[in-house]
């Protein structure tokens, strides 16, 4: 399950792990004008872990999800 919220300066997507198997903590993806952050609570430390991706990194990640193993460079058009 996931939710999408449009705030003033960002779009926030929350991924909720559902099911009877081991459940991971929710993941929050926040898309700003110039970057995207990914946050998740670390169950061992009870602290939020956060990474920040540039828009180029997000583009590359999206492309990588649909490609076989290898090294790639996206062509800019």
Task: Record the pTM.
Answer: 0.83
In a domain, 73, yes or no: no
- State how many domains the chain has: 1
* Coil/strand/helix, residue 63: helix
Q: What are the pLDDT digits (tens) for 41-64? A: 998 999 999 999 999 999 999 888
For residue 46, what pLDDT is reported?
95
Residue 72 binned pLDDT confidence (cut-offs 50, 70, 90): confident
Domain that holds residue 30: 2-64
* Coil/strand/helix, residue 61: helix
In a domain, 70, yes or no: no
Q: What are the pLDDT digits (tens) for 14-25? A: 988 888 777 899
In a domain, 12, yes or no: yes
In a domain, 42, yes or no: yes
In a domain, 71, yes or no: no
In a domain, 17, yes or no: yes
Q: Six-digit token pair at 60? A: 């590359």
């Amino acid at each position: 399950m996931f939710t999408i919220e449009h705030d003033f300066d960002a779009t926030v997507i929350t991924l909720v792990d559902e099911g009877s198997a081991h459940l991971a903590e929710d993941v929050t993806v926040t898309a700003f004008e110039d970057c995207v952050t990914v946050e998740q609570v670390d169950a061992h430390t009870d602290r939020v872990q956060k990474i920040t991706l540039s828009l180029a990194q997000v583009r590359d990640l999206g492309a990588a999800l649909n490609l076989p193993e290898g090294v790639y460079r996206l062509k800019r058009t």
